[in-house]
Structure 1
């Protein structure tokens, strides 16, 4: 994400029925990134078309976990493999940066996200829902 496309990113949105699983608009993540150290934002493109947005951490938490706080594909571009392709590229980037444990969460009522994360190797940390999310981990070593 850059000065050239930040506003276009704020126009991305999920389907109305998905607001319960992705309630924060992109503008929230842009604002939070200005105050939380280590949040990195990326626009997701398919060729030259903006299709989504993601947030990842470039610094680990106290347990040496690197988090992906948000991944969102615009309502018009869902179901086309953009989320999977973006996560695959991000996992590769984070692995090259020596991230050994990548963490991601999703709401229990978002089985599509859960299935996507499982196909990429993310395992449930526990069956317990933590802060409203199922937490998953990917060991990259």
Structure 2
């Protein structure tokens, strides 16, 4: 599986807006991708990547290139299109993103997910993300991956 993270560009941004999650996931991923693209033009820290598998656009992610005041690099969004879920692409994309953070000399990565999104929680745990606390914050379980 040839997973690659590419910049959002003039050539692929519109195709990104066509990515969709399953209907039952709309409460987990309520913001359409066009929202993230627009917000990234005003939130200086957001980096966008398109997830490709063998040159097919299959997903999208957003991460913060600068750490917050506690030294955490956040991943606000990652999604795999409904037609490509369940094939290991999300985990492969997360591994590449973790490598990118390591190349940036990041120390801590944070991500949140809804408590009902058990599949995401299990995937993050399998990558080494631990619960940052038992408290639900803004409706999400917050997880931390310590890199160094």
TM-score range, shorter chain: over 0.9
Runs of 4+ that moved beyond 2 A:
none
Matched, 1:50 2:84: no
**Matched residues in 1 for 2:75 and 2:9: separation?**
19
Structure 2 CA distance, aligned partners of 1:31 and 1:132?
24
Partner of 1:19: 26
Tell me the TM-score normalized by structure 2.
Answer: 0.94
What secondary structure, in the 3-state scheme, does the structure 1 residue paired with 2:93 have? helix
Question: Which residue does 2:144 correspond to in 1?
Answer: 137
SS at match of 1:35: coil
2: CA distance, partners of 1:102 / 1:82: 19
**If the length of structure 1 is used for normalisation, what is the TM-score?**
0.98
Partner of 1:89: 96
Deviation at 1:21, TM superposition (A): 0.8
Unaligned runs of 5+ in 2: 1-7
Q: Which residue of 2 is the match for residue 10 of structure 1?
A: 17
CA distance in structure 2 between the aligned counterparts of 1:96 and 1:77, rounded to whole angstroms: 28
Over aligned residues, Cα RMSD in angstroms? 0.6
Shift of 1:73: 0.2
Aligned to 2:87: 80
Shift of 1:127: 1.0
Q: Which has the higher contact order (CA 8 A, sep 6+)?
A: 2
Q: Distance in 1 between matches of 2:58 and 2:71?
A: 31
